[in-house]
Amino acid sequence: MPTKIYELSTVRTVDGMPIQITPLKIKYLRQFMDAFDFVKTASDDDQAIFFLSECARIAMQQYYPQIATIADLEDNFDLKTIYKILDIAAGIKINNPDNKVKEQATNSGTTWETLDLAKLESEAFLLGIWKDYDDLETSLSMQELMATLEAKREEDYAHKKFLAAIQGVDLDKQTGKGEQNKWEEMKARVFSGGKAANSNDILALQGINAEKAGFGIGLGLGYERID
């Protein structure tokens, strides 16, 4: 099976119109996460659901801009579909919609608090594909950014390794694994929505990481969180 950067899904409006959902591009994910901060401070589940609906409305800017208000959102989707949109868009999982919605949402969402996003984007920008950073953020999701950087780093390292070998130097032995481990841990945090402690954590086995491993969450492997 070919590897995939991320999963995509299709939701339908109450009238049956299909809308394809993918992880949010970084430009919209920034707005989404700003709105998601209000979910964390909601006084109860009803208020949390309102703020989650605002997050879904923001996501519609990418998926279907004609849905421009929360009223439009509620006219077109039931709550179960809104939760599915949140899951695909940013990894916000509401498994039990009748109980502890705020707690479920805040325990599952994407985070980049420990991620130097500006540095990662600067590295990708050197590829010369995008005219400015807004263009980059409109073009790439976090998953796509990480996959692009991984390919770039692997290509750069292979070139350096070749040049070193010509001079009789084993670059693998010279460099060690420190930087590689840091990169793997960063990828693990991104693909697990900020939940994986390191690349060996089960939560890291999602998306492209799961495809590369041949198994993972969403590919026949489930897990139970025990607090």
In a domain, 85, yes or no: yes
Same domain, 25 and 77: yes
Look up the domain containing 37 and give its range. 9-106
The answer, yes or no, to whether residue 219 has pLDDT greater than 70, is no
In a domain, 131, yes or no: yes
In a domain, 111, yes or no: no
The predicted-structure confidence for 106-161, as pLDDT tens digits, reads as follows 887 556 666 788 888 999 999 999 999 999 999 999 989 988 988 888 888 777 77
User: How is 106-165 classified by DSSP, letter by letter?
Assistant: HTT----TT--HHHHHHHHHTTS--SSHHHHHHH-BHHHHHHHHHHHHHHHHHHHHHHHH
The answer, yes or no, to whether residue 48 has pLDDT greater than 70, is yes
Mean pLDDT (the chain, rounded): 80
The predicted-structure confidence for 77-117, as pLDDT tens digits, reads as follows 999 999 999 999 998 988 887 789 999 888 875 566 667 88
pLDDT confidence bin for 175, thresholds 50/70/90 = low
Q: Give the model's pLDDT for residue 215.
A: 44
How many structural domains are present in the chain?
A: 2
The last residue of a domain, from among 106, 138, 154: 106
Which residue is it, tokens 């540095």?
119
- The Cβ of residue 144 has, within 10 Å, a number of other Cβ atoms equal to 18
Instruction: Give the mean pLDDT of 23-52.
Output: 93
The model's pTM: 0.71
In a domain, 52, yes or no: yes
In a domain, 53, yes or no: yes
Same domain, 148 and 68: no
The answer, yes or no, to whether residue 216 has pLDDT greater than 70, is no
In a domain, 227, yes or no: no
Q: Give the model's pLDDT for residue 159.
A: 78
Same domain, 207 and 123: yes
Same domain, 93 and 38: yes
